[in-house]
Amino acid sequence: MNKAMSRIDSLPEELQLQIFQQLDSLPPSELKARQEPSLQVIRSAQHPLKDLSRVSKRWRRIVLPLLFKHACLRFGNPEPTGHEICTICGLGSYFRPIHPQFSKAESCHVEIASAISKQSTLQPSNLVSTSSIVHPQGQAGEAATAPFALRSYHEVQDLLAFVRKERLVLSITSFVLLIEQLEAEKASRYPPRPRDWRYPAAADLWQQLLSVVDPERICILAPPIDLACLTNAAIDTVGDWAFSDMAFHFLELRQDSSMSHTLTEPVDYKALAPFPGQFPGFAASSLIRLRPWAHVSLNEGSFLKAYGTYEYFERGPPSLVYSINHCFTPLGRSYQLIPGTWPLSALRTFTYTAIFPFSNHVDFKQMLPYIEELDVRFAPDVESGILDDRQRIGRAQLQDCWQELTSAYYALCAVLSTHRMSEAIFPKLKKFVCGDSRVEGIREDLEELFTPLHLPVWAEMRPGVFERLAMSPRLPGINDQV
């Protein structure tokens, strides 16, 4: 090992970097994006670049841009050791110690107040008045806690300070945010209460981040209601109690590489309202509206528990689907952030994953005229073993689950049928992907359902992958006219 290290160290750093780049790979959040959402989405058994960074200071400096190419920030980690803890909110710094010019008790709050007064949508008083802060020296040895507004400011500012110091601003191509739970309180179905600090805190989080870095890909793993808060979306929480096995939803937003770093005008973040004005819908400050996202992927996990409730089909999950679809209605497209654009106006690909979603939930007809590719997967991963777990199945009748899956694909194929396709109806749609065609037990049933997707409009290039060859079918007596 020492001889090999010595030989590599004798090479110029440019060549060393090229060697180390061979160990770079896709992040686990991309490889596991279609598995049932869990905290495993960021975990990998192999991390060669991290191991290399521990060999020597020189190697760490060389591989640091590769290490932070796919940055990840998880709220709720245990407090770091070896760092001073703020005695007001009980939070420590993950990337740097508390600033020496402030006292331990006031450091973070002085910085927060200063930053907020200049550029944030939050008011300093809201950060403390709406929280249930317990001092580290509190009675009965209570653990120090802090609301999301304080924690998000601490951790994002620490990350960005580290990024600036190490000159990694242009190295970050993807960013993953993980949150286990913001607060037990539910978000409002309709425009949230003015005192719901999670919405302005989420807006402030993305404004801080995007003012410094501009990743091509941003992902959020969070409980469904918290995901709505983090995207400043109005969400239906009336029937959320029935979807108790939806621990997390996973949202992935991606820009085309040619579009990132191309905003022609700076965005005045302070002028953007953090609260959505209606249900469904996104607020002006929503992450959905801050960049020209070309690809959106949403994984909503399992619907199994809901099947065990009375008249399950009448309930809707706490989902972003309604607000995403709303972006493609005339009313939704009237909202503007930058002149000439609307939410998801650059969307080309939409990917949806869930385990037995209700057929009336996966209705994407509104967006089909505006996108180029639809990729769906409704059946559980064969390797997950979820159907062998009686506790996960609960009171659900699997016959109902498979019937909903069949109904969902039947409705999709009816819309995409060769005889219904035309340039006027779906002018951009080029590809339809069914990820469930790989499931051996339902492959034959799906092939029968996909019969309406045939030549001359559609061709099945691979099992479950249909590409559009013609804009509309040739109709005798109509297409042959000169």
Which of 118, 205, 119 minimizes the C-alpha distance to 155? 205
- Rounded to whole angstroms, the Cα distance separating 60 from 292 reads 34
Q: Which residues pair with 176 in a beta bridge?
A: 72, 219
pLDDT digits (tens, 9 = 90+) for 306-344: 999 988 878 888 999 999 999 998 766 655 444 435 789
Report the alpha-carbon distance of residue 389 to residue 392 in Å, rounded: 5
* Cis peptide bond prior to 224, omega within 30° of 0: no
Q: How far is CA 72 from CA 69, 176, 178, 318, in A?
A: 10, 5, 8, 25
Contacts of 40 (CB under 8 A, 6+ apart): 28, 32
Position with higher pLDDT, 353 vs 110: 353
- Report domain extents, the chain: 50-65+77-171
Q: How confident is the model at residue 387 (pLDDT cuts 50, 70, 90)?
A: very high
Please tell me which residue, 263 or 4, carries the higher pLDDT value. 4
Q: Which of 98-102, 214-218, 418-422 has the lowest mean pLDDT?
A: 98-102
pLDDT tens, position by position, 141-177: 223 334 566 667 777 888 898 999 999 999 999 999 9
Model's pTM, two decimal places? 0.84
- Alpha carbon distance 347, 440 (integer Å): 32
Give the C-alpha separation, 472 to 424, whole Å: 9
Closest CA to 359 of 319, 318, 401, 408: 408
Task: Transcribe 276-301 into DSSP letters.
Answer: -SSSSEE-TT-GGGTS--SEEEEEEE
**Residues 6 or more apart from 235 whose CB is under 8 A from it?**
187, 189, 224, 225, 228, 279, 318, 319, 320, 322, 323
Cis status, amide bond into 100, omega within 30 of 0 = no
DSSP H stretches of helix in 166-260: 198-210, 224-230
CA dihedral 434, 438, 442, 445 (to 10 degrees): 50
Q: From CA 214, how far away is CA 265, in angstroms rounded? A: 14
- How do the residues of the chain divide into helix, strand and coil, expressed in percent and rounded to 5? 35, 15, 50
The confidence band for 4, taking pLDDT boundaries of 50, 70 and 90, is low
| Helices vs. strands in the chain: H and E counts, helices first | 15, 12
Q: Give, in order, the Cα–Cα distances in Å from 285 to each of 58, 84, 327.
A: 41, 33, 15
| Cα(274)–Cα(70) distance, integer angstroms | 27
